[in-house]
């Protein structure tokens, strides 16, 4: 009598998947032993869960706020407590997720040169503060995986020739040909340092205080997985893999987006989802659009990727009054498979990247955009090229100031233009992420930029909680106007099934002054036509051009206008948005 084959256990399936990943990354190591070590470090030998493939871990109610731990300050309490209080006061039932940028002890780069991955910087709070925030919001945190601070104990040990750390950092012969290496900075790539009794050159993608880790050593991977497990225990649900595109290096290559890097992302995905099937990975890859899309893999790498092309393309459309490039880009974007989606943002702690529009905007168009931003008080950061020259890498400016006018100069439409930008972000396929400073209309902080000595500080103001609360109560301030108009739009978005991150999206063609697209809910019951006038002149749209189904009733969600005559037309005032739906 034949017996049916025994079904593999979740643990056995996990072990095989890990071995498959490790065969690509570490072909010369014993993959079975290393897989078992990873299982033990992640404590999956105690609790191993079964993730469901292609499961959406989000819906239309998901909205993220992005902030530093010390953006909100208050007397007599740690910044994390002040931030938690501010979030609960203003964003309960509005925003359900918070990305707290690195909150660890650090030596530079506002947190991204981590001295100790396992401690909360005592200047901002402790792990109990993080746990409390994670009970009220989905918590997103950075795994600063490519590099650590030159003050990290690992690097101190490296310089002394001791372990752990002696073999944790990527070193290279300075005589090697490194001309093809792609990186986002103009500082020298290599730094000569002592290593016991010898001198070695360590690899520094981002600067000499941020030393690149060497993932060719599997012990480095085990260290990072141990850190990842801690973050899970501390309530982190969303993991932002910082600068992950640069993770693996091969001399003679570009040292970006290598196959081993992709396989490492797939490995981390496997570990995380077997520990918590509701956890999410977001890859931070500020690179050209096609390369960025590759981090979805086959729905087996990142759950979400940053839509890095959106900020510069949208900014360009709003200051030029021409949305051709934005439309062309939107039409080229593939729908995300179920279980994956885009992370949309238009402002962040970093600048507005220009690499993601390479091949999308001409050099002349980029130069016009840069000149306009400089006219509005913005600064430009640069990256090094193979030939020793430099190229603009990002624009550093607060988004509110970036939208104070057009290429023709400043005008009276700053607020309307700013709200329009966020209305577009809220309606697009994907999960919207609001930089906290955008939600309250923060302007350029020139004093902070001068004090810190780097351009990005222009958009990293710290607010006293009493001061920003006072501004948010003052109906005459632009902070109040920004905050309450955005609150209204966020509330509307959260109630529309057609704004599910994976709902259908089609680009509409209504001329170069109107950026328009159509969303349809996954059950096909709700349609929303999203019309955005990106110019400083009124635009008229015949309703017949939308092909509205005449048997349905249609309404603009934002201003509650109803449409009955399908032969009529509607007018969009400068920078006005219309969300026209058949279900409300």
Q: Which residues are catalytic?
A: 242
Element (DSSP H or E) covering residue 469: helix 465-473
Which residue(s) pair with 171 in the sheet? Answer: 202
Given a contact cutoff of 8 angstroms between Cβ atoms, the answer to whether 394 and 353 are in contact is: yes
Count of other CB atoms within 10 angstroms of residue 555: 16
Which residue(s) pair with 236 in the sheet? Answer: 139
- Euclidean distance between CA atoms 536 and 534, whole angstroms: 7
What's the full length of the chain, in residues?
584
- Euclidean distance between CA atoms 490 and 65, whole angstroms: 12
- Euclidean distance between CA atoms 305 and 551, whole angstroms: 39
- Euclidean distance between CA atoms 50 and 47, whole angstroms: 10
Given a contact cutoff of 8 angstroms between Cβ atoms, the answer to whether 377 and 401 are in contact is: yes
Count of other CB atoms within 10 angstroms of residue 278: 12
Q: Is 285 exposed, middle or buried (0-12, 13-18, 19+ CB in 10 A)?
A: buried
What DSSP assignment string belongs to 16-42? HHHHHHHHHH-TTS-HHHHHHHHHHHT
Given a contact cutoff of 8 angstroms between Cβ atoms, the answer to whether 356 and 305 are in contact is: no
Element (DSSP H or E) covering residue 221: helix 218-233
- Euclidean distance between CA atoms 186 and 429, whole angstroms: 35
Location of structure tokens 């900020």: 311
Buried b vs exposed e over 499-533: b needs ≥16 C-beta within 10 Å?
bbbbbebebbebebbbbbbbbbbeeeebbbbbbbb
Count of other CB atoms within 10 angstroms of residue 340: 23
Nearest one of 337, 339, 281, 331 to 309, comparing CA atoms? 331
Nearest one of 153, 146, 370, 160 to 245, comparing CA atoms? 146
- Euclidean distance between CA atoms 535 and 331, whole angstroms: 21
Strand-by-strand arrangement of the 554-556 sheet: 504-508, 514-520, 527-533, 577-581, 554-556, 562-563
Axis-axis angle for helices 10-25, 31-41 (nearest 10): 120
Count of other CB atoms within 10 angstroms of residue 540: 10
């Amino acid at each position: 009598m034949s017996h049916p084959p025994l079904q593999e256990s979740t643990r056995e399936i996990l072990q095989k998947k890990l071995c498959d990943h490790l065969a690509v990354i570490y072909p010369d190591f014993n993959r079975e032993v290393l897989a078992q070590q990873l299982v033990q470090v992640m404590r999956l030998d105690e609790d191993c869960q079964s993730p469901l493939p292609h499961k959406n871990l989000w819906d239309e109610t998901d909205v993220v706020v992005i902030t530093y731990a010390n953006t909100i300050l208050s007397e007599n309490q740690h910044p994390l407590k002040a931030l938690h209080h501010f979030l609960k006061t203003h964003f309960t039932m509005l925003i359900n997720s918070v990305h707290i940028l690195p909150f660890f002890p650090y030596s530079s780069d506002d947190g991204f040169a981590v001295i100790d991955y396992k401690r909360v910087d005592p200047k901002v709070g402790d792990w109990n503060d993080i746990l409390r925030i994670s009970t009220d919001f989905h918590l997103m945190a950075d795994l600063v995986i490519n590099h650590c601070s030159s003050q990290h104990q690992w690097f101190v040990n490296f310089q002394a020739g001791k372990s752990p750390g002696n073999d944790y950092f990527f070193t290279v012969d300075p005589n090697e040909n490194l001309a093809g290496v792609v990186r986002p900075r103009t500082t020298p790539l290599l730094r000569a340092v002592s290593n016991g009794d010898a001198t070695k050159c360590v690899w520094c993608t981002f600067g000499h205080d941020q030393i690149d880790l060497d993932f060719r050593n599997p012990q480095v991977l085990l260290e990072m997985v141990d850190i990842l497990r801690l973050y899970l225990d501390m309530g982190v649900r969303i993991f932002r893999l910082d600068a992950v595109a640069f993770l693996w290096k091969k001399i003679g290559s570009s040292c970006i987006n290598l196959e081993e890097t992709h396989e490492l992302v797939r490995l981390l995905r496997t570990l995380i989802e077997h520990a918590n099937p509701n956890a999410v990975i977001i890859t931070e890859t500020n690179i050209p659009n096609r390369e960025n899309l590759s981090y979805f893999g086959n729905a087996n790498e990142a759950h979400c990727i940053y839509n890095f092309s959106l900020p510069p393309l949208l900014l360009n459309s709003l200051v030029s009054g021409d949305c051709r490039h934005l439309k062309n880009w939107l039409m080229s974007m593939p729908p995300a498979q179920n279980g994956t989606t885009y992370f949309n943002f238009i402002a962040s702690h970093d600048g507005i990247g220009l690499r993601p529009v390479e091949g999308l905007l001409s050099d002349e168009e980029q130069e016009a955009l840069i000149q306009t931003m400089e006219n509005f008080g913005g600064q430009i950061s640069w990256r090094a090229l193979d030939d020793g020259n430099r190229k603009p890498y990002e624009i550093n400016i607060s988004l509110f100031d970036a939208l104070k006018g057009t290429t023709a100069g400043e005008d009276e439409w700053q607020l309307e233009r700013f709200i329009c930008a966020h209305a577009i972000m809220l309606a697009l396929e994907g999960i919207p992420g609001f930089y906290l400073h955008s939600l309250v209309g923060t302007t350029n902080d020139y004093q902070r930029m001068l004090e810190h000595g780097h351009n990005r500080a222009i958009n990293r103001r710290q607010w006293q909680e009493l001061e920003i609360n006072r501004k948010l109560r003052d109906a005459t301030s632009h902070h109040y106007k920004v905050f309450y108009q955005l609150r209204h739009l966020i509330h509307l978005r959260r109630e529309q099934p057609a704004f599910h991150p994976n709902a259908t999206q089609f680009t509409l063609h209504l001329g170069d002054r109107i950026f328009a697209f159509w969303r349809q809910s996954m059950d096909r019951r709700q349609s929303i036509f999203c019309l955005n006038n990106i110019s400083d002149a009124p635009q008229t749209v015949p309703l017949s051009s939308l092909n509205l189904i005449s048997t349905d009733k249609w309404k603009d969600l934002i201003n509650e206008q109803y449409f009955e005559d399908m032969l009529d037309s509607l007018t969009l005032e400068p920078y006005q948005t219309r969300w026209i739906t058949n279900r409300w």
